[in-house]
């Protein structure tokens, strides 16, 4: 495990030092320092969270709620910092997804590839 642990730490440092991560961190800090942007983003996240929780509880989302979410999304997208942040989050999420795919490849040898089933 110690070897695995060391390699995981190396990977972590590489991620933390990547341009993608620095960009995300910087945008996050810029938004935190911008009261309007911060509030907009907070409201949007809260709305998303509320809808997700409803879905997880099996509660049907109304037409009105879906429209409101879409409107809020279009609104925050128009904010330069927020749209850049969401893009940066998306990029990092793809990277983390790729990394997870790579490191769990050995398990595919044993259990097969779930994507191909």
Distance CA 101, CA 12 (A): 16
14 lies in the binding site for a second copy (CB under 8 A)? yes
CB of 54 to a second copy, least distance (A): 13
30 lies in the binding site for a second copy (CB under 8 A)? no
CB of 81 to a second copy, least distance (A): 14
Q: Which residues have CB under 8 Å from 55's CB, separation 6+?
A: 61
For 93, the token pair is 């999420």
55 lies in the binding site for a second copy (CB under 8 A)? no
CB of 49 to a second copy, least distance (A): 13
Per the document, the length of the chain is 117
Please classify residue 27 by burial: count the beta carbons closer than 10 Å to its beta carbon, then call 0-12 exposed, 13-18 middle and 19+ buried: buried
Q: Which residues bind a second copy (CB under 8 A)?
A: 1, 3-5, 7-12, 14-16, 18, 20-21, 24-25, 28, 58, 92, 95-96, 98-100, 102-107, 109-110
């Amino acid at each position: 495990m110690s070897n695995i642990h060391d390699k995981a730490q190396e990977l972590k440092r590489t991620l933390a030092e990547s341009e993608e991560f620095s960009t995300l961190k910087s945008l996050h800090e810029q938004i935190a320092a911008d009261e309007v942007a911060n509030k907009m983003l907070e409201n949007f996240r809260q709305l998303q969270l509320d809808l997700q929780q409803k879905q997880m509880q099996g509660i049907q989302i109304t037409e009105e709620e879906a429209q409101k979410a879409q409107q809020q999304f279009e609104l925050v997208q128009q904010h330069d910092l927020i749209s850049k942040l969401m893009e940066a989050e998306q990029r990092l999420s793809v990277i983390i997804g790729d990394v997870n795919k790579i490191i769990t490849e050995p398990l595919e040898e044993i259990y097969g590839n779930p994507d191909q089933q």
